[in-house]
Amino acid sequence: MSMLNKVCLITGATSGIGRETALALAEQGAELFIVCRNAQKGEAVLAEITSQNPDCKITLLLGDLACQADIHRIAQQFLETGKPLHLLMNNAGVVNTHRKLSRDGIEETFAVNHLAYFLMTELLRERLVESAPARIVSVASEAHSFVKGLQFDDLEYESTPYKTFKVYGHSKLCNILWTRRLAKQLQGTGVTVNCVHPGAVSTGLGHQDHAVIGKIVGLLLKPFFRSPAQGAKTSIYVATSPNVENITGEYFSDSKIKRVKPWAKDDEAAERLWKISEEYLKLA
């Protein structure tokens, strides 16, 4: 898909994989809408992108993806531009070392890593269909293998012991199941839906919650990490390559379709998750 003058909305683009993805899309001539929480960081990445690509049209949309009201406002601000939307990149994510609640009173990892993807996409869904061919690309993770299925009796880890990697993996399993369900719903519309595993990437993920622990974990694992630029390659490939033009509902790693764990192909669980998510987001 040629990205020249294509309109792209990216969440979490101020650092790491999101930043590298935004830089690559700008290089290819795309118009960018960047969703970020921190205005200062947003202005910094905007300056970096425009310094490298002076002709790039880029707009900041400020808001907290842990807050449903902010997501509604961000989506409305985009829709009011009247522009088409050719690529929605759900990239923002959190990793917490202990249980925290979002501004809406929902466990934060579930709220940001899954419900924010769901809500942003639903609010922009009609515009994506109108703009087809269009793509929805979401950053999932091989961490979905850390769990053995969705924990429907305790999605927010209220009574289950809060283990960082398990909770994160649970949210990434949500991403894959949601992608499969959404792809089926959008079949025949010209909008494809895929998710990607970027690999173990050295980014700011995990530093939001506890700076000391995040830095220690980062230092211990750094020799095994890819750079953000390397981690972004699969996201960029799935967002732009003509080779995946008609592929939907898949999970990519190293720019190739990868087999997921059996519990990530559970369509009954995907449907149940969809209905529960609608209730959380008051969309039902």
d(CA 170, CA 150) in angstroms, rounded, equals 7
Q: Give the list of residues 6+ apart from residue 262 with CB closer than 8 angstroms, or none.
A: none
CA trace torsion 30, 33, 39, 42 (10° rounding): -20
* CB-based contacts of 158, cutoff 8 Å, min separation 6: 107
Question: What does the alpha-carbon distance between residue 270 and residue 184 come to, in Å, rounded to a whole number?
Answer: 11
Q: Is residue 242 part of a domain?
A: yes
Give exposure, 140-166, as e/b (b: 16+ Cβ within 10 Å).
bbbbbebbeebeeeebbbeeeebebeb
The DSSP 8-state label assigned to residue 107 in this structure reads B
- How far is residue 3 CA from its own chain's centroid? 19
- Domain hosting residue 268, numbered range: 7-280
Q: Which two tokens stand for residue 6?
A: 């294509």
Task: Give residue for tokens 């039902």.
Answer: 284
In a domain, 2, yes or no: no
Would residue 280 show up in a list of annotated catalytic residues for this protein?
A: no
Q: Does 254 fall in a domain?
A: yes
Catalytic entry in 117, 168, 251, 280: 168
Asked if residue 120 is part of any domain, the answer here is yes
Q: Angle at the Cα of 271 (from 176 to 65), degrees rounded to 5? A: 55
DSSP state of 209: T
Assign 3-state DSSP to the chain and report helix, strand, coil percentages, each to 5.
50, 15, 35
How far, in Å, CA of 107 to CA of 98, rounded?
A: 10
**Is 1 part of a structural domain of the chain?**
no
In a domain, 146, yes or no: yes
CATH for 45? 3.40.50.720
- List the chain pLDDT tens, one digit each, 284 residues: 689 999 999 999 998 899 999 999 999 999 999 999 999 999 999 999 999 999 999 999 999 999 999 999 999 999 999 999 999 999 999 999 999 999 999 999 999 999 999 999 999 999 999 999 999 999 999 999 999 999 999 999 999 999 999 999 999 999 999 999 999 999 999 999 999 998 654 445 444 455 555 555 554 444 445 576 787 899 999 999 999 999 999 999 999 999 999 999 999 999 999 999 999 999 96
Q: 155 lies in a domain? A: yes
Residue 114 DSSP class: I
Number of domains in the chain: 1
